[in-house]
Amino acid sequence: MIRESEVTPKPQPAQWLRVEIVHELSALARMRSEWDALLEASDAGPFNAWEWIYPWCRRIAPERRPLILTARDRSGALVGLMPLGFELCHVLGRQVGRLSFLGETHVGSDYLDVVARRGMEEAVTRAFASGLREMHGGWDVLDLLDLREDSLTVKVLRETFPELEVRLTDRYVCPYESFTPGEPFDAFLKRTGRRDNYLRRRKWLEKQEGYCIERTEAPGALAGPMTDFFRLHAARWAADGGSQGIQNHGVEAFHRDATQLLAERGLLRLYTMKVGGQAVASVYGILYRDTFIYYQSGYDPEWRNRSVGLVLVGETFKDAIESGLTEYDFLRGTETYKSDWTTKQRRTVAVRIHATQGAGRWFTRREELARDAREIAKRLLPDTTVERIRRLRRRQSAE
């Protein structure tokens, strides 16, 4: 069990950054304004935002204890954050203390990392690594998921813990596309794999009575479009046993909170396609600096043959370009529809640190054995059986 005296780093007199820890959710709730200001002054990704992390703590993992490292300069200004959480994992009668990023599970948070003021990334990251080293007696496993592959944090942690086992593993491929400033949408469209089908399907839809695309950004206007989004997203995945992205009512509650908070900062773009007054497709996006981030989508399966999902994605590209944005990020996943619109990829990684012996090593070994057993089962069982098991697990997760 972590105790306060064991985990709070003790700043050295020669250090010019003061590292402290935020343990309570109530303290996290009060940090919004300075967290937002720091994020704006950093190069950190959107899922490190307070508007994403705080509702995750409330709705997804209320049992997880915040352990947020903060770094302040001599004036007391916040110049760095490392939003971690602590949990005790009870596995086969053993307790394992695990430190991980807040926001890591259930909601697809890519590009998690240290948040540091531009120009201070190395100093802040090394200060946090030193703090984690001081508190090593209070945790067994440091488990950081979904950092960008070029993250400075990975390099610094490897240097800070040479005597421990540091494992780096690949996580996801994230397709994206860059736009040339001033490039018209038609010019971009010519270099995609979906141009002809998109134009043909859009032309047909535009002839239908009541066809329109609504873009919702205002905090007070989200209730109806979000209800449409959840309905269409669930309908899209119903035949596959349910969505892996939005699995249950707790995750829905998180998104209702997060979209409201993101909209308050002007970071939300929710698109709804309607035909004859009925919502038939939806895209949930995040606007972050000069990038449109495609987070999730849904559509009415009865309109699948009219390619409403394809057309709406194309319209989000059009809107991004005409808004002067310079990048469109599909986040994790290599689905074909993403590669038809994009030419570039970035990757995410996970880093795990633990002692070469003890609870952390045992925790990792047990995970490896479970993974190996799943792979053996996949090879031995018919594909249809594996698919039925996968769908059953999805349904159970949604209950």
Residue 110: give the domain boundaries. Answer: 4-172+347-356
At 383, is the pLDDT very low, low, confident or very high (cuts 50, 70, 90)?
low
Give yes or no: residues 142 and 238 share one domain.
Answer: no
Q: What is the pLDDT of residue 136?
A: 85
At 91, is the pLDDT very low, low, confident or very high (cuts 50, 70, 90)?
confident
Q: What is the rounded distance in angstroms from the CA atom of residue 101 to the CA atom of residue 94? A: 22
Give yes or no: residues 20 and 145 share one domain.
Answer: yes
Give the chain's domain count.
2
Q: Average of pLDDT values for 19-44?
A: 97
Q: At what angle do helices 195-206 and 308-322 cross, to 10 degrees?
A: 100
Tens-digit pLDDT profile for residues 123-175: 999 999 999 999 988 899 999 999 999 999 999 999 999 999 999 999 999 99
Q: Answer with the residue of higher pLDDT: 268 or 399.
A: 268
Q: Average of pLDDT values for 220-230?
A: 97
Q: What is the pLDDT of residue 358?
A: 77
Q: What is the pLDDT of residue 165?
A: 92
Domain annotation covers residue 388: no
List CB contacts of 313: < 8 A, sequence separation 6 or more. Answer: 283, 294, 297, 337, 341
Residue 4 has pLDDT above 50, yes or no: no
Give yes or no: residues 351 and 314 share one domain.
Answer: no
Residue 353 has pLDDT above 80, yes or no: yes
- The chain-wide mean pLDDT, for the chain, equals 90
Q: What is the CATH number of the domain that holds 168?
A: 3.40.630.30
Domain annotation covers residue 339: no
Give yes or no: residues 10 and 111 share one domain.
Answer: yes
Percent of the chain with pLDDT strictly greater than 90: 78
Q: Average of pLDDT values for 353-378?
A: 72
Q: What is the pLDDT of residue 397?
A: 44
Residue 386 has pLDDT above 60, yes or no: no
Domain annotation covers residue 396: no
At 366, is the pLDDT very low, low, confident or very high (cuts 50, 70, 90)?
confident
Give yes or no: residues 56 and 139 share one domain.
Answer: yes
Give yes or no: residues 48 and 149 share one domain.
Answer: yes
Give yes or no: residues 131 and 208 share one domain.
Answer: no
Q: What is the pLDDT of residue 394?
A: 46
Give yes or no: residues 168 and 244 share one domain.
Answer: no
Domain annotation covers residue 153: yes
Q: What is the pLDDT of residue 373?
A: 63
Q: Which segments within 149-227 are labelled E, that is strand?
A: 165-178, 212-216
Q: Let me know: does 33 contact 51? Beta carbons within 8 Å.
A: no
Q: Answer with the residue of higher pLDDT: 92 or 161.
A: 161
> Among the listed ranges 2-11, 75-84, 323-332, which one has the minimum average pLDDT value?
2-11
Q: Average of pLDDT values for 364-381?
A: 66
> Among the listed ranges 60-74, 82-96, 110-124, 194-208, which one has the minimum average pLDDT value?
82-96
Q: What is the pLDDT of residue 399?
A: 46
**Phi-psi map region of 321: left, alpha, beta (phi>0 left; psi -120 to 50 alpha):** alpha
353 phi, psi to nearest 5 deg: -130, 130
Residue 244 has pLDDT above 90, yes or no: no
Q: Answer with the residue of higher pLDDT: 238 or 254.
A: 254
Q: Average of pLDDT values for 212-230?
A: 97
Give yes or no: residues 79 and 159 share one domain.
Answer: yes
Domain annotation covers residue 364: no
Q: What is the pLDDT of residue 5?
A: 32
Residue 13 has pLDDT above 80, yes or no: no
Any idea how long the chain is? Answer: 399
Domain annotation covers residue 395: no
Q: What is the pLDDT of residue 389?
A: 47
Residue 286 has pLDDT above 90, yes or no: yes
Give yes or no: residues 95 and 237 share one domain.
Answer: no
At 243, is the pLDDT very low, low, confident or very high (cuts 50, 70, 90)?
confident
Give yes or no: residues 121 and 187 share one domain.
Answer: no
Q: At what angle do helices 32-40 and 50-59 cross, to 10 degrees?
A: 140
At 370, is the pLDDT very low, low, confident or very high (cuts 50, 70, 90)?
low
Give yes or no: residues 224 and 165 share one domain.
Answer: no
Residue 382 has pLDDT above 80, yes or no: no
Residue 273 has pLDDT above 80, yes or no: yes
Q: What is the pLDDT of residue 93?
A: 74
Per DSSP bridges, beta strands 291-299 and 327-329 are parallel
Domain annotation covers residue 366: no
pTM: predicted TM-score of the whole model, two decimal places: 0.89
Nearest-CA neighbor of 84 among 138, 38, 36? 138
Domain annotation covers residue 188: yes
Residue 256 has pLDDT above 80, yes or no: yes
